[in-house]
Amino acid sequence: MAKRDRLSGNEAVAIALRQINPDVFPAFPITPSTEIPQYFASFVANGQVDTEFIPVESEHSSMSAAIGASAAGARSLTATSSCGLAYMWEELYIAASNRLPLALALVNRALSGPININCDHSDSMGARDSGWIQMYAENNQEAYDNMVQAYRISEHKDVRLPIMICQDGFITSHAVENIELLEDREVKKFVGEYCPENYLLNPECPMAVGPYSITDYYMEAKRNQAEGMKHVSQVVLDVAKEFSSISGRSYGLFEEYRMEDAERAVVMIGSAAGTTKDAIDRLREKGEKVGLIKIRLYRPFPASEIAEALRNVKAVAVMDRAEGYTNQGGPLGADVMSALYRARGNALAVNYIYGLGGRDVRVEDMEGVFEALKQIMEEGDAGETYRYLGLRE
């Protein structure tokens, strides 16, 4: 039986982790993710989990310890935000290239500077090419559900890659909202025991992790890593299907909201998607054909599937909660536009930068984006494709 509760996004992820009971959790605090290890530490103290909880002196160390534990054969994870993720940079690549299926509970926060504690996606977007799987959430429920599904995806024998479970700092991490939790035993059964095939602490089969690779082998190693990424989408869908049977909640690579006959669409990631749904409902009442594609799986990028979902759309706004400094827009904009080009899509596309450093996004803001798309559609010209939403002038 599911249990109805009201929790913040951080509490929800901490509870998912209690239910999973991982082997090793090294952690160093940083706002707004601090509450995840904080709640988890109380579960350790209360004997509700038998996880080895390691308070370390930096994020460089927390990720290093999680990597060491994973290489040894343990199910490990850590949590962080913003500059904490930046301090893990080298280790992110090491985790991915060693094919270690560990998890990172990331609570998205702007990267300095200026110093800012609030939400944008500049931290995780910088790590988009590190070889990690990245999943994003609209609300506390999705953050919880994604965490429960995380290890089933990352530990899958065809994948074996680390996974980043992202949610929006403060907006979902610190907002108390309704949620439905699964029973502890249901989660334990769904996630299962971790039985790695190869691991350092196996005296029967000695192995090396992270050795030097000469030029002769380096490219083959990287191509193998990419092969793991190729299997992620199918595994995500398979795991989601099974998850739906225990939770009643369905997930895909992305969510399509009122896209059936949509002429105008927004593509975005995270909590502002909920706000956009309310804008869409208002406009639909006036007969406007508008819809939303909300990205759940961002790495690997479901390019052909998104291009297909946009096939009949005439104008699309891709929303980036991070600057790309390409003079063209942000990373999601580049990914979606490249997907449209490859699929010979006809949609006129623009890219908005929005919500940096926690800049609020209102229903009216998103109605404004759909209004701009209407003009683009009518004129048959995208005009300036690199735009800012809600910028004071």
Partner 1 sequence: MSNLTEIRWHGRGGQGAKTAALLLADVAFQTGKYVQGFPEYGPERMGAPITAYNRISDTVIRTHSNIYDPEYVVVVDESLLEAADVTAGLRKEGAILINTSRRKEEILPHLKGYEGRVYTIDAHKVSMEAMGKYFPNTPLLAAIVKVTGLMDEETFLREMKASFSHKFASKPEVIEGNMAALEMAFKEVQ
Nearer to partner 1, 76 or 172 (CB): 172
CA dihedral 23, 68, 111, 34 (to 10 degrees): 30
Whether the bond between 113 and the residue before it is cis, its omega within 30 degrees of 0, is yes
Please state whether beta strands 133-136 and 297-299 pair in parallel, antiparallel, or not at all (unpaired): antiparallel
Nearer to partner 1, 177 or 184 (CB): 177
Pick the piece of the chain touching partner 1 (CB under 8 A) from 21-29, 203-211, 266-274, 327-335: 266-274
Minimal distance, residue 115 CB to partner 1, in Å: 10
Q: Does position 296 bind partner 1 by CB under 8 A?
A: no
What is the helix (H) or strand (E) element at residue 215, kind and residue range?
helix 215-230
Strand, helix or coil for residue 28: coil
**Two structure tokens written together for 249:** 């909640």
**Two structure tokens written together for 53:** 């909880």
Nearer to partner 1, 18 or 314 (CB): 18
Q: Does position 84 bind partner 1 by CB under 8 A?
A: no
**Contact map string, positions 344 to 363, toward partner 1, x by CB under 8 A:** ----------------xxxx
Please state whether beta strands 348-353 and 386-388 pair in parallel, antiparallel, or not at all (unpaired): parallel
Q: Among 71, 57, 60, 80, which Cα is nearest to 24's?
A: 71
Which of residues 6, 222, 241, 342 is near partner 1 by CB under 8 A?
6
- Residue identified by tokens 């997907």 is 339
Minimal distance, residue 243 CB to partner 1, in Å: 20
Which of residues 54, 83, 117, 343 is near partner 1 by CB under 8 A?
117
Task: Tell me how crowded residue 48 is: count the other CB atoms within 10 A of its CB.
Answer: 14
Site residues for partner 1, 123-142, by CB under 8 A, read 139
Nearer to partner 1, 94 or 295 (CB): 295
Minimal distance, residue 91 CB to partner 1, in Å: 27
**Count of residues interacting with partner 1 (CB under 8 A):** 24
Nearer to partner 1, 183 or 278 (CB): 278
Q: Does position 175 bind partner 1 by CB under 8 A?
A: yes
Rounded to 10 deg, the angle between the 184-191 and 140-154 helix axes is: 30
36 CB contacts (<8 Å, ≥6 apart)?
Answer: 10, 13, 14, 17, 27, 79, 105, 107
Nearer to partner 1, 92 or 292 (CB): 292
Distance CA 297, CA 333 (A): 15
The contact set with partner 1 (CB under 8 A) reads 6, 31, 117-118, 139, 168, 170-172, 174-178, 271-272, 274-275, 277-278, 360-363
